[in-house]
Structure 1
Amino acid sequence: MAVRGVISYWWLPIFPACVWLGMLLGMLLWWFVTVDMDRSRLPSLDRNMYLPYISDIGAFTLKPLFIAGSVVTTVTFDLSFAAERWLRHKGRLVPNQTLLEKVLVILTILFAVVGTVGLICLSIFDTYRHPQLHDIFLLLFIGGYLISAIFICWEYQRLGIQHREHRVLRASFWVKLIFIFLEIGLAVAFGVLTFTDRKNIAAYFEWIISLIFTFYVLSFVIDLWPARRTKHRAMRFPKPRSPREMEESEASLPGRAHGANTNGHF
């Protein structure tokens, strides 16, 4: 019973964050310990680069690790999006009130799936054997999750206005907004450095972008944390009323049903 009290939905984003960070650190360790002195193991590596791209390491000996880490990270991370939507629908979290908010949720999940497909495919179509496909899927990965973050920020901004008493919504909004600006700035710098053939510096930016993604995944702990208090039905949020229910409720108010007779006879 004690274990049941500890395990909750907020654990969902912790697992993919640990998998992603562990994969990155494992690849870095493999580079420094094994390959740094024997660069022939990475045929795609530029001779002037002190640090390889992640995709250089993931194109050869550690390709199985790169594929497995990418698949596990993104698929389990997407469960956090699905859980957040389900918990709002069930009243375990602050529910979505308007049609726009529900559309924003759908777009958030949709573009997260695009990012998922991008990362899985770029790990399979490596930069050494499929350079053009790899670059396309890299754009899908970065663009998919960035656009997804924009939509979820928009959703949280609207929820935060309607529910100012729940400061966790505001905290999550600002964390994700900082992520968006950081990643856009770093992604632009990475692209410029890569296409101007300053790959040695660009590689450092790629690693920084990937490490920051870990903290974005962890930010969903903030979103799912309040659900631990709403396990019992009595503690859950009431479901938002439909427009029809609101009209019926207003019509049943005293003075509304007989409004024609309140100001005199006609």
Structure 2
Amino acid sequence: MVRLWHSAFERDFFSIRRLWLFPVVAGSCWFTTLTILLIRWLAIGRPQYPNQVNPYVPFISDIAAQTFQPVFIVGCAVTGLSFFGTVFAVHHVRYSPKFYGLTDDAQWRQAVSMVALVAGLAGAVSLVLLSIFDTDDAHKRHRYLLMATFGGLFVSAVTTTFVWWDQARGPVVFAGLRKWCRFNISLVLCQFAVGIVFLSTMYAGDYRVSGIFEWILTYLGAFWLVSFVGYTRFREGQDPKATDGDERQPLLA
């Protein structure tokens, strides 16, 4: 299954050695967009916007729906495109003969990889549309797109974790990859825990805490995106190593 989709990119329209740029752009752009919105809100005296749901700490959409919406749209557009590029890169390098070359992977893992790609695309598109419809007169569309964005990101994160779990827990096959897999998985778990706190406090009416945890959750997302650099460039300029001579050796030195 996976052989069909990755073979179409066998000539690498994007150089296999430059795929690490996708997670760098995605994480840094998202981090910058959030920081611009937060600094602006603090710089103008922490105002309370019209129709602001949280009276203490505004949600990101409350700030973005005001005069800084163009910044939010551009930031989400770049983040969304580079996020899908990140998902593609992370799954492509796993099966590309020019990188890890795990073309004999389990069928269920290859199927989950495809699900991650579809979910990543859905999350990326929803994020861009979310920024466009983040206005005071589009609350219902904003809510649906927000759910679609978080749903796509969540499914993509979980399925990607399942696909790469063998490298985090199994025998060391590719030197240096395990630490990145474990770091990425720990960020996924942290985001899940923070997301539960955020939703629980929001529905419980504790807006001060929920507002803080929403910002923590979104900033964790930026670091999660950047952590995928380790999947796509961790062996650059290094000699491949393995703990067992019978294990597969990296195909890219």
TM-score (normalised: structure 1): 0.75
- The Cα of 1:167 is off from its aligned counterpart by 4.2
**Equivalent position to 2:139, from 111, 128, 131:** 131
**1:75 corresponds to:** 81
- How many pairs does the alignment contain? 224
Q: Secondary structure at the match of 2:176?
A: helix
Contact 2:86 2:228 survives alignment (8 Å)? yes
Higher mean alpha-carbon deviation, 218-227 vs 96-105, is at 96-105
The CA deviation at 1:160 is 5.5
Instruction: Confirm or deny that 1:34 pairs with 2:44.
Output: yes
Contact 1:9 1:228 in 2 (8 A): no
Q: Percent identity?
A: 22
Q: Runs ≥4 in structure 1, deviation > 4 angstroms?
A: 159-163
> Residue 8 of structure 1: CA displacement?
3.1
The counterpart of 2:189, out of the listed 159, 177, 181, is 181
For residues 145-160 of structure 1, the aligned pairs below 5 Å read: 145-159=153-167
Using the TM superposition, name which of 116-125 and 167-176 deviates more: 167-176
**Alignment match, 1:106:** 114
Match of 1:237 in 2: 251
Question: Which whole-Å deviations, capped at 9, do the CAs of 1:214-252 have from their partners, x for residues lacking one?
Answer: 11101110100146359xxxx9739xxxxxxxxxxxxxx
Other-structure match for 2:150:
142
Aligned in 2, Cα 1:117/1:9: closer, same or farther, shift over 3 Å?
Answer: closer
In structure 1, runs of 5+ residues without a counterpart are: 1-6, 239-266
Deviations 1:76-130 (A, max 9, x none): 1211222333334432321232222321221111111122123222222226322
Give the distance between the partners of 1:136 and 1:91, measured in 2 at CA.
Answer: 40
The aligned residue for residue 9 of structure 1 is 19
Please tell me whether the aligned partners of residues 156 and 169 of structure 1 are also in contact (alpha carbons under 8 angstroms): no
Match of 1:61 among 64, 67, 86: 67
Bigger CA radius of gyration? 1
Return closer, same or farther for 1:86/1:229 CA change in 2, 3 Å cut-off. Answer: farther
Q: Distance in 2 between matches of 1:67 and 1:151?
A: 27
- Which one has a larger percent helix, Structure 1 or Structure 2? 1
Give, in angstroms, the shift of residue 186 of structure 1: 1.4
List alignment gaps of at least 5 residues for structure 2: 1-16, 239-248
- Residue identity matched to 1:177: I
Tell me the residue number matched to 2:229.
221
Following the alignment from structure 1 to structure 2, what is the Cα–Cα distance between the partners of residues 112 and 211?
Answer: 18
CA RMSD in angstroms comes to 2.5
Q: TM-score, normalised by structure 2?
A: 0.78
Q: Report the CA distance between 1:185 and its aligned residue.
A: 1.6
